[in-house]
Amino acid sequence: MRLSRWGFGVLCAWLALTPVWLTPRDAAAQEDAAKEKAKEIFARGKADYDAGRFVEALAAFQEAYATKPVPMLLKIIAQTHEALENLPAAVDSYAQYQGSNPKDADKIAEKLDALRKVLAASWATVDLTSEPTGAEVWLNKKSGPARGTTPMKLQVPAGAQTLVLEKAGFQTVQRAVKLTAGRTLTLGLALPVAMPTLTVRTTPVGADVLLDGAPIGRTPFSQAVTGGARRLELRLSGHEPHVEALQLSAAHTSAAPLLVEVTLRPLAAEGTLAVQIDRPGSLVLVNDREVGRSPLTEPLRLPEGLHKLVVRAEGARAHEEMVTVNAGQTTTTRIELGGVVEAGGGSGPSTRTWGWVLVGTGAAALAAGGVFGALAFSADGDLGDCRADPACARTPTEVDRANEVRSKAMLTDISLGAGVVLAGAGLAVVLLSDAPTEARVGVIPLVGGAAASGRWEF
């Protein structure tokens, strides 16, 4: 069906000739603007109508009528409803047009009578309700404006039809029905709550998608799932797994799903570390993280590179070392946990620490001996000068300076001797600290020097 040239011409003439001199100037300007806009919208609708795009044409004609309520548009809207096979809506529009007392009122009356006879003879009625109410209703497919909202009495052609119900927040329901002309079918439909839609995309594709540990597909993935708090996990061979928490709600519709886009990271090159420990039950830590107790059942898989290895056992000193793991290779380290720490001594300094204390003390004593030696050398020079001077020789001054030289020389000997003994003893303790040892060192001052005694028990 096409709009007649007469109908389009009459409409344009009516829009152009409607008088505006009866209204104030501002209102007239608004009226002119409304007419121009209505003509523009109508022209777009006519182009759609002539091209068979009746849904788009109907929307344009209804918009034009809302912009400028010209009665002729009601007739054109009725013709468009006929083209869409929505005869009840066509009857309503023709009746509204007839109420404007048009010149073709007789023809419109005949048209209405013919349409009503068709509806009575070959159409049926569906008394339709839904739970919840307010669902929009389409016939056969969701196209064009809805036929109405539930609850409603819907007139449809007799025969096999499909009712389509849709409401925001609920799943779309389609129900096939078989209708008899002139009869009424009472039908109630329940709309299930809509399940949110989850869309997952990964780079690269092909990752397994798991929700709460259950596999549901592979990427690219898009599907309705149960809403609420969910745990998403993505797995792909050769890549690190991805885990994140999701909150899915009814707002995540098929048109606006919850979108998760992830670039999966390739696994780092790995090697293995075999740790062999002489004491069962020893705690093993790698990079400050506990990985088990000895004996370890299998080598540890670690990323390529340098790692900190610590082994701890009760009654033994902790072992710490840095190990290098090479990709695709197994690194083996054998650990013997040294001497046993005596009861009650675990919280104090270790034997090795005391050894270094002795070394440090010895070094300090040697330094002091050097200072005293320099002072003794200076005092000895002063003594020589005194003896060369007749006024100083064989006087109390000479005696004082001689005593000073002997005193500083003795301090030098004691400091150097003690430094050598202490440093040597401390170094011996450090070297022997991996075995149970006991070191005793003594320094005995003597006239003109010092003596040291020491004992080591292994």
Give the pLDDT confidence of 397-412 residue by residue, as tens digits: 777 877 877 887 888 8
- What value, to the nearest 5°, has the Cα angle with vertex 208 and ends 207 and 212? 135
Q: How many CA atoms lie within 13 A of 65 on its CB side?
A: 17
Starting at the edge strand found earlier in the chain, the sheet holding 319-325 runs: 289-293, 283-286, 305-312, 319-325
Neighbours of 46 (CB within 10 A): 20
pLDDT given at position 25: 61
Where are any strands of DSSP class E within 371-435?
A: none
More confident residue, 388 or 77: 77
Segment 121-157, tens digit of pLDDT: 888 899 999 999 999 998 888 877 888 899 999 888 8
Taking only the tens place, the pLDDT of each residue in 169-215 is: 788 899 999 989 889 999 999 998 888 999 999 999 999 999 999 99
Of the options 3.30.160.340, 2.102.10.10, 3.20.20.80, 2.60.40.10, the CATH number for the domain spanning 270-335:
2.60.40.10
Q: Domain 1-103: give its CATH code.
A: 1.25.40.10
For position 68, what pLDDT does the model report? 87
Instruction: Using pLDDT thresholds of 50, 70 and 90, give the confidence band for residue 290.
Output: very high
pLDDT at 436: 46
Categorise residue 52: left if φ over 0, alpha if ψ from -120 to 50, beta otherwise: left
For residue 283, is pLDDT > 50? yes
270-335 shares the fold of 1-103? no
Which DSSP category does 266 fall into? B
> Which pLDDT does position 7 carry in this prediction?
55
Confidence class of residue 449 from pLDDT cuts 50, 70 and 90?
low
Identify the pLDDT of residue 15.
Answer: 52
CA distance 63 to 91: 19
The pTM of the whole model exceeds 0.75: no
pLDDT of residue 263: 95
Residue 387 in this model has a pLDDT that exceeds 70:
yes
Per-domain residue ranges of the chain: 1-103, 204-249+258-263, 270-335, 351-457
- Average pLDDT (310-321) is 88
Task: With CA atoms as reference, report the closest residue to 130 among 119, 117, 146, 143.
Answer: 146
Flag whether pLDDT at 270 surpasses 90: no
For residue 155, CA distances in Å to 160, 315, 357, 413 come to 13, 92, 104, 125
- The reported pLDDT for the residue numbered 339 is 52
Tell me what pLDDT residue 293 has. 92
Q: Between residues 257 and 384, which one has the greater pLDDT?
A: 257
Residue 159 pairs in a beta bridge with 179
| pLDDT at position 85 | 84
Helices (H) and strands (E) in the chain, counts: 8, 23
pLDDT at 12: 53
Range scoring the smallest mean pLDDT among 133-137, 183-187, 285-289, 368-372: 368-372
